[in-house]
Amino acid sequence: MIGFALGYVLGTRAGEDGYKEMMGALRTITSSGELKELAGTAVGMLADLLKQGTSGLGDGAESKLRRIA
């Protein structure tokens, strides 16, 4: 996010062409397979952490979490 903000500021100073170039780079990054894989891994790790944390909730933990979500 810091890199994006910095790029935005620099892009606006570079004018319309700089802005278009920056937005093209952002689209390339967000559509990359590496980013999607990283996001999938992060979601999987978060799910594992939630499962570990819910073990202390006792029976019905899954339904309790569904109500929260």
User: Where exactly are the structural domains of the chain?
Assistant: 1-31, 33-69
Quote the pLDDT of residue 5: 79
Interval 27-38: pLDDT, tens:
888 888 888 898
The whole model's pTM is what? 0.44
pLDDT band at 23 (very low <50, low <70, confident <90, very high): confident
Lowest mean pLDDT segment, chosen from 5-9, 41-45, 46-50, 57-61: 57-61
3-state secondary structure the chain: CHHHHHHHHHHHHCCHHHHHHHHHHHHHHHCCHHHHHHHHHHHHHHHHHHHHHHHHHCCCHHHHHHHHC
Quote the pLDDT of residue 68: 61
Quote the pLDDT of residue 9: 74
